[in-house]
Homo-oligomer: A and B are copies of this chain.
């Protein structure tokens, strides 16, 4: 066991509180005293016990970031941004992963780390509004991601409908007419909650282009494999779209892979657009066109929101904040003519 304040105090022949004062740079300590205590600290290799400090202060300086899947580079990149943003406010980030399971998402919102984390940033997948309404934990909660909730919590997400429409407009602008959507979660395909799907439908419908169920490929997950499987399923049932709008980059990459395996050329035969702008898409052999959400802004806003409620303004009214996004055109949607 490491040394405690008591040990240091004993060695230095002073009170425990004085040592505490030195450790915390309390101003009213004479230089001589400070030095004497410091010597004892050094000699014993004393390190403050943060757990005890946390207990005493009622705060830990830790905020949790719960994401569905670390293996998805979007969340890995987002996590990096959140960690940096939190560090700027002297907070540490504890990562949780929910695997997108409602049960785990509920668990996280209910504060199963009671008093270990001061706040929570959650990117939910299956969580329902009702799960949120019964929440008792009083740690600030910020929600990220595509879904919207009618619950009194901050929600930070780009305008997914508009972003999806931008992506689809990009494709129609290239002259594409049969634009498939890949990545509607099977159980949510019909729900209005699926904002990107809604944007796809709205844009196509306004353009007078087909947007029926036959052009929607449902998936079970959000990975590369799901994208490839969905693409294959689409082609297997005789569908032959001239463009793909995927729910995210990973699925777009999987779809591209499937297309190439079947001898279809990207972008000559089929244009592909993803969503997230993960680095992997930039370096893909066929660089991927994508909607790029401002991850830095998302991370910064989420952290500021949590920290803001923790210090000073606990009763801020909950807001929906929409950071910016941009469409980044790359090779996967080079003009078919070229």
Contact = CB atoms under 8 A, between A and B. Distances in A.
A260 interface: yes
A111 to B, nearest CB: 7
A92 to B, nearest CB: 8
A306 to B, nearest CB: 17
Contact of A50 (B50, B69, B115, B257): B115
A60 B71 contact: no
Contacts of A260: 285
Contacts of A73: 71, 73, 76, 280
Interface stretch (A13-21, A77-85, A165-173): A77-85
B45 A136 contact: yes
Contacts of A9: none
A47 B139 CA distance: 13
Interface string A53-86: 0110010100000000111010011011001000
Interface in A134-156: 136-138
A49 interface: yes
Contact of A115 (B51, B224, B225): B51
A95 interface: yes
A197 interface: no
Contact of A51 (B60, B69, B92, B111): B60
A51 B138 CA distance: 16
A337 interface: no
A285 B283 contact: no
Nearest to A50: B116
Given A80-B97, A83-B97, A115 B2 contact: yes
Contacts of A286: 285
Q: How many copies does the complex hold?
A: 2
A338 interface: no
A270 interface: no
Q: Describe A's contact surface by its main secondary structure.
A: mixed
A1 B285 contact: no
Contacts of A83: 70, 97
Given A73-B73, A73-B76, A76-B76, A228 B51 contact: no
Contact of A114 (B48, B76, B80, B228): B48
Contacts of A55: 49, 51-52, 55
Contacts of A54: 51
A50 B224 contact: no
A223 B279 CA distance: 10
A231 to B, nearest CB: 12
A193 interface: no
A6 interface: no
Given A256-B285, A284-B285, 13 more contacts: A2-B114, A49-B55, A50-B114, A50-B116, A51-B55, A69-B80, A73-B280, A80-B97, A92-B113, A94-B95, A224-B280, A228-B283, A257-B284
Rank and list the top 5 A-B pairs by shortest CB-CB distance, nearest first. Answer: A285-B285, A47-B114, A224-B283, A49-B115, A95-B95
9 contacts: A49-B114, A52-B55, A73-B76, A73-B280, A92-B94, A94-B94, A224-B282, A254-B283, A256-B285
